[in-house]
Amino acid sequence: MFNFDFHNPTQVLFGQGQISALARLVPAGARVLMLYGGGSIKRNGTYEEVRAALAGHTVFEFGGIEPNPTLETLEGAIALARREQVDFLLAVGGGSVIDGSKFVAAALCFDGEPWTIMDKGGAAVQRALPLGVVLTLPATGSETNSAAVVTRRATQEKRAFMSRAVFPRFAILDPSKTFSLPARQVGNGVVDAFVHVMEQYLTYPADAPVQDRFAEGLLQTLIEEGPKALATPEDYAVRANLMWSATLALNGLIGVGVPQDWATHMLGHELTALYGLDHAQTLAIVLPSMLRVRKAAKRAKLLQFAERVWGLRAGDEDTRIEAAITRTEQFFAQMGVPTRLADYGLDASAVDGVVQALEAHRLTKLGEARDVTPDVARQALELAR
């Protein structure tokens, strides 16, 4: 296991009714900007509950943050926050609203053009406005991590930054607020969380049995509970377990002291930037082929994954590995997220498009061994057609 420094300051309030805690969590006297998306929070009661909890506070609102939030939209929130001298941000929504709010929080304390925050992955970010979160979509883990992904529409760039300054102060996770999710977003959330675990687990053995077994437990929970959320959408226990799984998948815990991959995510971000696919759709396309193309380097962990997660013990090693990858594909399909480029109307030109974008963005040495070159990326995408 490598050396590590584990730091996660986000306070989590989990369960039905926890939104009322906003009254005491948001500092009295704060000038609050509440940020949200396209309106789902108004249809499922979250908006009303948040406003009621903040009845004693000064609250401004910025709605309309879109999935895969754009710089162009967020500039409006930055301007509003400046104009009203806001000093606390409250993100109410899914990963896109939370990520967008992190970007706004950093931009408000940043000297220079906001988009340059993305340079060197956010290394220049020193400070940010305090941020709280009310989560409505379990998927990204953004509610308790320090990462944000924003798209610049003008240049079709989707880029991430990380900074301790943007860890949320608190995150409220009320599973009942996820009952209203469309099936597509339920599937997306489960696939995204699954792939987050895989990016930190499916590399090479690193003498880290605790991280491995946490990861395997999260994968098994997602496999067991995910289909139940589609079959019985109002089952609170199922939603609660999915929500907690997605948070733990990317709050830093399972990633400490172990090698991490993230090549699937980097290809996926280019697919979204170019063709507008949902984040999880891109992962469902890329991950299985990535695993097949990099089978030799990932052999030991693929065998462990086959045995411990899918219970595959029979047959020779290659048979078990292929069966585990096929089971993974079938699971994504079962969650309603197809795994081929063609399923989304994309052909060979998308392979060229993504490879060119990776080169243009200098993402030419990806993965835990930095051996995912544009050529390897091409092989994976070809296999995913």
Region 177-216 residues binding ligand NZQ, contact defined as CB under 6 A: 177-178, 180-181, 185, 188, 192
Nearer to ligand NZQ, 15 or 27 (CB): 15
The pair of three-digit structure tokens given for residue 90, joined into one six-digit string = 């409250």
What is the spatial order of strands in the sheet that 88-93 belongs to? 11-14, 170-173, 131-135, 88-93, 31-36, 58-62
Q: Which is nearer to ligand NZQ, 39 or 311 (CB)?
A: 39
CA separation for the pair 237, 257 (Å, rounded): 32
CB of 280 to ligand NZQ, least distance (A): 6
* Cβ proximity of 201 and 254 under 8 Å: yes
Tell me the window of 86-94, 98-106, 191-199, 350-358 that interacts with Zn ion (CB under 5 A): 191-199
- Interactions with ligand NZQ, residue window 70-99 (CB under 6 A): 93-97, 99
User: For Zn ion, which residue has the nearest CB?
Assistant: 192
Give the C-alpha distances (Å, rounded to integers) separating 228 from 16, 32, 142, 351.
20, 37, 24, 34
Quick one: which of 215, 276, 254, 210 has its CA closest to 67? 276
Q: Which residues of 233-252 are buried (b: 16+ CB within 10 A; e: fewer)?
A: beeeebbbbbbbbbbbbbbb
* Residue (137 or 337) nearer to ligand NZQ, CB: 137
Q: Smaller CB distance to ligand NZQ: residue 227 or 255?
A: 255
Out of ligand NZQ, Zn ion, none, what residue 301 binds, judged by CB under 5 to 8 A for its kind, is: none
CA–CA separation, 287 and 326 (whole Å): 11
The CA-based angle 303-307-310, given to 5 degrees, is 115
**Of the candidates 49, 99, 192, 212, which one interacts with Zn ion according to CB under 5 A?**
192
Contact pattern for ligand NZQ over residues 35 through 64, marking x by CB under 6 A: --xxxxx--x--------------------
Binding site for ligand NZQ (CB under 6 A): 37-41, 44, 67-68, 93-97, 99, 136-137, 139-142, 145, 147-149, 177-178, 180-181, 185, 188, 192, 250, 265, 279
